[in-house]
Structure 1
Amino acid sequence: MPRRALGRSGIEVTALGLGGAAIAGLYRPVDEDSAAATVEAAWDVGIRYFDTAPHYGLGVSERRLGAVLRTKSRSQYVISTKVGRLLEPYDAEGSDTGSATGSDLANGFAVPATHRRVWDFSADGVRRSLEESLTRLGLDRIDLALIHDPDDHGEQAFHEAYPALERLRSEGMVGAIGAGMNQTAMLTRFLIDTDVDAVLCAGRYTLLEQPALAELLPAAANRGKSVIIGGVLNSGILAHPVPGATYNYSAAPGELLERALRMREVTEAYGVPLRAAALHFPFGHPAVASVLTGARSAAEVRDAATLLNAPVPADAWDRLRKEALLPRHVPVPEAR
């Protein structure tokens, strides 16, 4: 599988990466064996980039990824995790804000609510977060550390979390640094105002919508930085555009569903599943280093790898443009 450099960090990620939220029970349970099989399947198809976070299943994602990756050669893969949320355990009796025996489904994960999340973008919080992540992963280092969802904590993220990551990078505790968000404005600021190596942009550069093309991607390209694209299926609508499909983790608006259905008609006319076009699409921009698949099973991983290995005909992109389903100025991958 092709590899691309993360900015000037010297770290290379595979074009397809495995996002670790789904194997931590995103929206519905995933058992330990299925999660392990998913990670093993990712390895088997050539994926060597794995992304996780303490937020994903209250540490479950990190533990499950680490359990498999510890059996692999450490020099062969790249792992990213995130800072900004510390995990504080509930006591055995629970508390007025939660319970050690309840469910975390209100936060999106079908796992026991053993901990509560505490926002912390302080320098001490960043170091503590990474140390705890290393413990859960059982690994010796983090390749890429990302400031996670600092939307409402911007000043602390820029003035405390970012300088802390810069120090940890210089100390060698992490190899590369950046930020991961579902919006483009603050990520663009990170690219312009700091010395991050890469940013992870979720859901804002997809076949369905491209706000990242206005400022974020040009800023990355102009400064020699990299962008990792998550949420490439817009949380489901570009995988299965059917009534009840999700967009941005909620029910998709009718007009977006209709647009996705029209896109599917076009791509399938060229023998290309819509989800395949969605996986390929971000690579039309040179700043994109990797696309994450949020697979929750071995079959889904194998499917994503197969689809990414099959090129999308140039005529399919042209037809999407002619049908006004894709703006003409938006770059698309070159046919191989």
Structure 2
Amino acid sequence: MNHVSGLGVLGRTGLTVGELGLGCAPLGNLYEPVSEQDAADTVLAALAGGTRLFDTAPRYGNGVSEVRLGQVLAGVPRSQVVVATKVGYRLTEDGAEPDFSYDGTMRCLEESLARLGLDRVDIAHVHDPDDHEQEALTGAFRALLDLREQGVLSAVGAGMNQSDMLERIVARVDVDCVLLAGRYTLLDQDALTGLLPACEARGVGVILGGVYNSGLLADPRPGAWYDYRTAEPDQVAAALAIEEICARHGVPMKAAALRFAWGHPAVSALAVGARTADEVRENLAMAQTTVPADLWAELRATGLLTREVPTP
């Protein structure tokens, strides 16, 4: 496997992030409430399991995720963790307001550091600039690149649910990494032909989020979530077909979903969400599960994966 700098290392930065990071959106009560105790236990379980990368954002529960993460990390040597947060949305009394300006980005990061209780984060992503591409290019990215130049940040990135704009950003901005949610999974390989080869060519590290596509690849059934909304019947059918093949090979589908996402040479790490310590431990166990080559071969033979998609 010819990874840009090796799986677990963030592209050309050399920053050791580990293969499996903790996505902290659930700590901000995504989908359902999470108690203070469960949030703390989730982070502690990840630390106990050797997790290094913790990915949060102001928009995750209007600052709740950052505060909860910071409270636990206060007792952890800073060198043991890699903390990523995001800019582009500033919190107000009415929620999060988009602000991709240079000055707004600086203030956004300052406010995140205060909530986290940290003097620095390692990675700062521009968060979902879908409707603000030009302002992000001239404001937010310029601010983050200046902070990287000053040594305040180790890495500058962009986090989105779409691959097309990320591909344009990689071409136009000297980013170190991207965080791509849901567009490179067992169900959706949208990033295969554009973004991932572009990142590989430039040494840009790729962190994949949403590898369970909001839950459908974890528990496929009618009514399951897919990309933050209820899954369509054809999506449920595809996930059930994948699950059936996984079961035939004695492999939990979650394990196959994780292993598949690691299979592309541009991928540095995954950020997988959890809302309890048990979910963290399950994800860590899934990550250690062996997936036989015959499973991938059967997915290809049935057309659930194309021949062009790399597998581990």
TM range (shorter): over 0.9
Q: Give per-residue Cα distances to partners, 1:95-117, cap 9 Å, x unaligned.
A: xxxxxxxxxxxxxxxxxxxx521
What is the correspondence of 1:70-85 to structure 2 with a 5 Å cutoff?
70-85=74-89
What residue number does 1:296 align with?
275
Counterparts of 1:314 and 1:70 in 2: how far apart (Å)? 43
Q: Give per-residue Cα distances to partners, 1:282-302, cap 9 Å, x unaligned.
A: 111111011111111000000
Counterparts of 1:149 and 1:178 in 2: how far apart (Å)? 11
Shift of 1:261: 0.5
What residue number does 2:202 align with?
223
Q: 2:160 aligns with which of 171, 174, 181?
A: 181
Q: 2:293 aligns with which of 298, 309, 314?
A: 314
Shift of 1:10: 2.9
3-state SS in 2 of match to 1:201: strand
Q: Give per-residue Cα distances to partners, 1:258-283, cap 9 Å, x unaligned.
A: 11101000011111111111111111
Shift of 1:322: 0.8
Counterparts of 1:252 and 1:116 in 2: how far apart (Å)? 27
On the 8 A contact 1:236/1:246 being kept in 2, the answer is yes
What residue number does 1:34 align with?
38
Counterparts of 2:151 and 2:275 in 1: how far apart (Å)? 32
Residue type of the partner of 1:150?
Answer: P
What is the correspondence of 1:131-210 to structure 2 with a 5 Å cutoff?
131-210=110-189
Shift of 1:4: 2.2
Greater Cα shift, 259-268 or 115-124: 115-124
On the 8 A contact 1:3/1:12 being kept in 2, the answer is no
1:257 aligns with 2:236: yes
Q: 1:243 aligns with which of 215, 219, 222?
A: 222
1:18 aligns with 2:22: yes
On the 8 A contact 2:58/2:89 being kept in 1, the answer is yes
Residue type of the partner of 2:286?
Answer: L
Counterparts of 2:89 and 2:76 in 1: how far apart (Å)? 28
Q: 2:10 aligns with which of 6, 14, 22?
A: 6
Q: 2:211 aligns with which of 221, 224, 232?
A: 232
What residue number does 2:69 align with?
65
Q: Give per-residue Cα distances to partners, 1:76-98, cap 9 Å, x unaligned.
A: 1100000000012x3xxxxxxxx
Counterparts of 1:241 and 1:67 in 2: how far apart (Å)? 34
CA-based RMSD of the aligned residues comes to 1.0
3-state SS in 2 of match to 1:64: helix
3-state SS in 1 of match to 2:13: coil
Q: 1:268 aligns with which of 247, 272, 282?
A: 247
% identical aligned pairs: 53
Q: Give per-residue Cα distances to partners, 1:4-53, cap 9 Å, x unaligned.
A: 22222231211000001101110111010000000000011111100000
Counterparts of 1:323 and 1:6 in 2: how far apart (Å)? 34
Residue type of the partner of 2:177?
Answer: A
Counterparts of 1:262 and 1:3 in 2: how far apart (Å)? 29
After TM superposition, the score normalised by the length of structure 1 is 0.90
What residue number does 2:55 align with?
51
> Which of 1 and 2 has greater Rg?
1
Greater Cα shift, 275-284 or 299-308: 275-284
On the 8 A contact 1:54/1:81 being kept in 2, the answer is yes
What residue number does 1:98 align with?
none
On the 8 A contact 2:7/2:267 being kept in 1, the answer is no
Residue type of the partner of 1:54?
Answer: P
3-state SS in 2 of match to 1:142: coil
What is the correspondence of 1:86-165 to structure 2 with a 5 Å cutoff?
86-88=90-92, 90=93, 115-165=94-144
Residue type of the partner of 2:199?
Answer: A
Counterparts of 1:22 and 1:116 in 2: how far apart (Å)? 17
Count of aligned pairs between the two proteins: 307
What residue number does 1:112 align with?
none
After TM superposition, the score normalised by the length of structure 2 is 0.97
Residue type of the partner of 1:84?
Answer: G
